[in-house]
Amino acid sequence: MAFAFELPFMPQQASSYAEKVDNLFLFLVGLTIFFTVSIALCEIFFAIKYRRRHKNEVPKPIEGSMKLELLWTIIPFCIAMGIFVWGTSVYFSLYHVPDQTMDIYVTGKQWMWRFQHPEGQREINELHVPVGRRVKLTMATEDVIHAFFVPDFRIKSDVPPGRYTTAWFEATKPGRYRLFCAEYCGTNHSRMIGWIDVMDPADYEAWLSGGAAEGSLADSGQKLFQQLACITCHKTDGSGRGPVLEGLYGKPVTLDNGQTVTVDDTYIRESILDSNAKIVNGYQRPSIMPTFKGLVNEEQLLQLIAYIKSIGPQQQGAGGAAPRGATQTPASPGTTQSNPVAPARRSPQQ
């Protein structure tokens, strides 16, 4: 399918799965053309062959054919199932995020794209990445639905409000590639465009070291964790009204309704914005933790999540980081427990 590069209506292939998408697309186009032409020729042929030759001609009766019925049933079925299997394979390669990726956090807002690197660099409408490196995008929106679309990478992912969506790509050659919003999002939708700058690894490291960074994403989350007084409830010794957060990310928790969920980005985000959405078994309903909806924006939520991810059980840091070997102990008698994940603000009595 190398000729796909030469077609004027096809964007260039600049990601690891672009060729897979193009092969399926071109197969569907070719299949459509084949059957369109075949059906048109059959119509013309039968119109001529079985035309009325004189005014009083009566056509001969035609009986059904089991072989013909099976033929035009089995062949289309096999073609359709082949397309299904092929399309499913391409779909999973697109939407199954591989291991060992470079995490980039994306926030859509009328009418711009904002990017945060784990090292602390921030960009607006422009993203720098190294060539040959798998990049995972964790995306959210601060207002209406957007869609992250890079034609040269064959990547398009909707970014609806109220949840996180993920996508990934691996750029295969250096260059500068257009980024669009592919979902109508308001008056200046057509201006919500940007660039993906793919660089050689050495050039990317030079860019990364030369950029002005305000600390890593996790460091920003730690500062926010302290500013919101979350450390007053989430103490390392387990004596606070909230639980110890160290090592909690990625673990399953049982809710008060018997359901089991995993502590991931979406769960943490929901717990911060609505502490009563999911209550872990053993904690009171309604939760005593207030909502932070409207107090923190999507970028700050990503910073808090990055911080909670970073405080594993073997790490130590300010604002709630557990010392090496620390374990969670039960709260002291009479202590009211809050939502087990979301940070809690200082109450008026504190």
Instruction: Please work out, in degrees rounded to the nearest 5, the angle formed at the alpha carbon of residue 102 by the alpha carbons of 101 and 105.
Output: 120
Q: The domain that contains 200 carries what CATH number?
A: 2.60.40.420
- Residue 3 counted as domain residue: no
Quick one: 235 and 182 in the same domain? no
Quick one: 253 and 331 in the same domain? yes
pLDDT reported for residue 338: 44
Measured from the Cβ of residue 24, the count of other Cβ atoms closer than 10 Å reads 17
- Residue 56 counted as domain residue: no
Quick one: 238 and 273 in the same domain? yes
Quick one: 194 and 304 in the same domain? no
Estimate to the nearest angstrom the gap between the alpha carbon of 187 and the chain centroid. Answer: 25
- Residue 55 counted as domain residue: no
Model confidence pLDDT, tens digit, residues 233-283: 777 776 767 777 888 888 888 887 888 888 888 888 888 888 788 887 777
Of 102, 178, 104, 114, the closest CA to residue 146 belongs to 114
Quick one: 253 and 336 in the same domain? yes
Q: The domain that contains 223 carries what CATH number?
A: 1.10.760.10
- The answer to whether residue 320 scores a pLDDT higher than 80 is no
State the chain's mean pLDDT as an integer: 81
Q: Note down the domain range covering 234.
A: 215-350
Of 207, 204, 197, the closest CA to residue 153 belongs to 197
- The answer to whether residue 341 scores a pLDDT higher than 80 is no
The H or E element spanning position 32 is helix 18-49
Quick one: 239 and 322 in the same domain? yes
Instruction: Please work out, in degrees rounded to the nearest 5, the angle formed at the alpha carbon of residue 224 by the alpha carbons of 120 and 294.
Output: 110
Quick one: 223 and 344 in the same domain? yes
Quick one: 236 and 336 in the same domain? yes
**Residue 8 binned pLDDT confidence (cut-offs 50, 70, 90):** low
pLDDT reported for residue 325: 33
pTM of the model: 0.70
Quick one: 274 and 154 in the same domain? no
Quick one: 163 and 276 in the same domain? no
DSSP string, 142-164: SSS-EEEEEGGGTEEEEE-TTS-
Cis status of the peptide bond prior to 330, with omega within 30 of 0: no
Quick one: 89 and 106 in the same domain? no
Calpha distance 328→334 (Å, rounded): 17
- The answer to whether residue 154 scores a pLDDT higher than 90 is yes
Calpha distance 114→15 (Å, rounded): 22
Model confidence pLDDT, tens digit, residues 42-89: 999 999 988 888 878 787 777 778 888 899 899 999 999 999 999 999
